[in-house]
Structure 1
Amino acid sequence: MKKEANPKEKKKFKEFLHKFFKIFIIIFGAAIAINILVIGVLFLIHKNKLADERGYLNPQGQMVDVGGHSVHVIVDGDENADKTLVFIHSNGITDDSVALEPLFGKLQEYRLVYVDRSGFGYSDTTKTDKDIESIVTELRTALEKVNVKGPYVLVPNGIAGLEATYWADKYPDEVESIIGINISVADDFDGVTEEQYCGFFNYLMVKFAAIGGQRYVKSVYPDNFGAVYTEKQMIVRKALISKNFYTSDMYEEDLQAVHNAAVVKELGWPEQTPMLVILANPLMAPYIEDDSSVREEYEDALKEVYGTATDASAGDADGVDYVGEYNADKKAYYSQYKNVQIEEMSGPSRLYTYDPDGVAKLIKAYLDD
């Protein structure tokens, strides 16, 4: 027969539970209060720094109205040139209005246009639609507002390759050619779900950026390898990143990316549009010698596999040419299309931030051919 608990023991146990939950509630409440305090302090610091940085953030181009919100457009170079180059930034890149300046300086014989999409750079953050048609429509409308007519040479970077190929598919008369700088293509998203590409972490990033959390993550700010930029340009780039590190518009673009890729894939590759694809290879010298983090990551990977590291610029431990293999899949992909010319350069994804002279030479050679 089961023995019943002593009334005194029951009372002691209830008192213990009461004290335990009381202490738990106090600790939990204190933790919430501390978190709120920390978030509040970070937000106030961020706001104060934004106010201090406002003096650096003067748009170099025009602010034009596109669908009820302001979009920043830079028009540079020779307005009478035969070629009009329209530069399209990748998602998450908010400082290209400044980052492109050294490259623009080397391409002054062409008409040059750059547009900050809504939620990027100097443009308004408005939670606009970010399906592929809406993105391209915003770009086309911005060009119309500054009276820059096609046909255009589109110069996309990163995931903006989707916008460029869509533009060429849907409005072929407006696109003379495409010069893709390390671009993504629709097939890159095969097998990727929307949740995998843009999940809850991305949503948290919007909140993280809103309180200025990026200010305490050194890796989000660019280095000035090769002294490409002046001190003032670097200050402005960093101020733009602090202001718009990851906005709701950027989140919406990520949220739509898999769907947009599917739309572009259904339209097919624009095989009638001449194209130059410039591939970035961070393992090639001299970039790997300049960027210590890339070099260390590469050598650590070799150590993990082979137990030793080798000179990244010279080769590897087992005779495999990892530098040569870095872009092998991309080269094989583009080689199936007769309208694509392929070049490879040493540098990061945004090659123009590291070697604008090399990028300019490839662009000129392609356009003048």
Structure 2
Amino acid sequence: MNKILKIIKNVVLVIIGVLFLIIAISYINHRIQLHNESALLTPTGTVVNVNNHQMHVYTEGIGDKTLVFMSGGGTASPVLDFKGLYSKLSDRYRIAVVEKAGYGYSETAAVSRDIDTILEETRAALTLAGEKAPYVLFPHSMSGIEALYWAQKYPEEVVSIIGLDPAIPAAYEKYPLPSELSMALTSFGARIGITRFFPAIVDSSAAIQENHLFDQENKIYRAIFYAKTQTSNMNEEVKMIVNNAQKVADGGIPDVPMYFFISNGQEIPLADWGNLLITYAESARNGKYMVLDCGHYIHDYEPEIIAEESMKYIEGLQ
């Protein structure tokens, strides 16, 4: 018996040793690659100091209306993710993409992810970058909650909300959120570079798959992905989303025009996702919706349709 226990103990020690070796090799490789990729990570827009951390705001185009693009939870590079859509709108409108703490070129910071803090940081970043309200908001996924709250709290700053498969409060009443343990493990894996052994993860992103980026931009997208996957700010957003959504639900449907572009829901782990969005849009003032047979990153899959419909809708609000 003692002999068997000794063998088991030795096997366990070997396994632990191998795991530590893999972690060490992965981490060292990750740090070397991050250093090599640092030259790619020069911000393309304006970096401003908000709440004692650096935030990045990308702008392009001219026009008498400013469209603000707000990324979904966990989108590593909002600026590049939205390019397929905003590049079709910037010849007529001013475009602004705000990268929240822990996203894109923005700094990962020890700041609360309650909805008031997120909103005030977004507004401050835009102001410091020289942008002025009112705005047309283009929220994707989780940031739908932020856009709705913005319209509730500062209706004079929001011309309209054009939702890109946007989340609404009711979705989080039963949305199957990841556990804190799974998020912690994923975040740990990303920080030590395990994600680099699975390049198919980043290469499967819609922005890359749909060929919206130049070769150099693909390299930048990958570099940002490896540096900003599952950051602490992204994790905190998930932990607080139910409370944030409830606060928005308590405020009712904001009195601003809305146009929701809704996916086929196949990538969403919620059976009635589409119906929830349709009901919400129908209840809004000047509400409208369009269901598109594509995945959740709807702006990457159908940018031409969304751009054309958005222009018609925005001009029709005058």
**TM-score, with structure 2 as normaliser:** 0.90
CA contact (8 A) 2:57 2:98 kept: yes
Residues 282 and 253 (structure 1 numbering): CA distance in 2 closer, same or farther, change over 3 Å?
Answer: closer
CA contact (8 A) 1:119 1:127 kept: no
Choose 247-256 or 348-357, whichever is displaced more.
Answer: 348-357
CA distance in 1, matches of 2:209, 2:195: 21
CA distance in 1, matches of 2:212, 2:102: 26
| TM superposition shift of 1:328 | 4.3
Which of 18, 38, 54 does residue 38 from structure 2 map onto?
Answer: 54
CA distance in 2, matches of 1:330, 1:266: 17
CA distance in 2, matches of 1:336, 1:170: 19
Which of 56, 63, 69 does residue 87 from structure 1 map onto?
Answer: 69
Choose 20-29 or 102-111, whichever is displaced more.
Answer: 20-29
Which of 170, 173, 181 does residue 200 from structure 1 map onto?
Answer: 181
Secondary structure of the residue that 1:242 maps to in structure 2?
A: helix
Deviation digits for residues 172-200 of structure 1, max 9, x if unmatched?
1111111111001000011458xx54431
Of structures 1 and 2, the larger Rg is shown by 1
| TM superposition shift of 1:358 | 2.0
Alignment of 1:233-252 (within 5 A): 233-252=217-236
Secondary structure of the residue that 1:327 maps to in structure 2?
A: helix
CA contact (8 A) 2:258 2:281 kept: no
Report which structure shows greater RCO (CA 8 Å, sep ≥6).
Answer: 2
CA contact (8 A) 2:83 2:212 kept: no
CA contact (8 A) 1:198 1:254 kept: no
Which of 177, 188, 191 does residue 210 from structure 1 map onto?
Answer: 191
Alignment of 1:279-318 (within 5 A): 279-281=262-264
Which of 156, 161, 170 does residue 139 from structure 2 map onto?
Answer: 156
Secondary structure of the residue that 1:149 maps to in structure 2?
A: coil
CA distance in 1, matches of 2:166, 2:51: 28
| TM superposition shift of 1:225 | 4.0
Find out whether 1:277 has 2:269 as its counterpart.
no
Residues 183 and 203 (structure 1 numbering): CA distance in 2 closer, same or farther, change over 3 Å?
Answer: same
| TM superposition shift of 1:141 | 0.9
| TM superposition shift of 1:266 | 1.1
CA contact (8 A) 1:56 1:239 kept: yes
Gaps of 5+ in 2: none
CA distance in 2, matches of 1:73, 1:204: 30
Gaps of 5+ in 1: 1-15, 284-293, 295-324
CA contact (8 A) 2:171 2:276 kept: no
Which of 153, 165, 174 does residue 182 from structure 1 map onto?
Answer: 165
Find out whether 1:266 has 2:259 as its counterpart.
no
Deviation digits for residues 131-180 of structure 1, max 9, x if unmatched?
01011011011011112111111110001000000111111111111111
Aligned partner of 2:78 in structure 1 is: 96
CA distance in 2, matches of 1:344, 1:205: 32
Deviation digits for residues 190-220 of structure 1, max 9, x if unmatched?
1458xx5443111111111101122233234
Give the % identical residues: 30
CA contact (8 A) 1:197 1:255 kept: no
Amino acid at match of 1:119: G
Aligned partner of 2:315 in structure 1 is: 368
Residues 82 and 238 (structure 1 numbering): CA distance in 2 closer, same or farther, change over 3 Å?
Answer: same
Which of 224, 234, 237 does residue 253 from structure 1 map onto?
Answer: 237
CA contact (8 A) 2:102 2:228 kept: yes
Amino acid at match of 1:56: L
Secondary structure of the residue that 2:47 maps to in structure 1?
A: strand
Residues 105 and 150 (structure 1 numbering): CA distance in 2 closer, same or farther, change over 3 Å?
Answer: same
CA distance in 2, matches of 1:140, 1:329: 28
Secondary structure of the residue that 1:227 maps to in structure 2?
A: coil
How many corresponding residue pairs? 309
Aligned partner of 2:156 in structure 1 is: 173
Deviation digits for residues 46-102 of structure 1, max 9, x if unmatched?
112222222222211011111111111112111xx2211111111100112112223
Which of 45, 49, 55 does residue 71 from structure 1 map onto?
Answer: 55
CA distance in 1, matches of 2:273, 2:76: 27
CA contact (8 A) 2:260 2:288 kept: yes
Aligned partner of 2:283 in structure 1 is: 336
CA distance in 1, matches of 2:212, 2:285: 35
CA contact (8 A) 1:77 1:104 kept: no
Deviation digits for residues 287-339 of structure 1, max 9, x if unmatched?
xxxxxxx9xxxxxxxxxxxxxxxxxxxxxxxxxxxxxx983453244323343
**TM-score, with structure 1 as normaliser:** 0.78
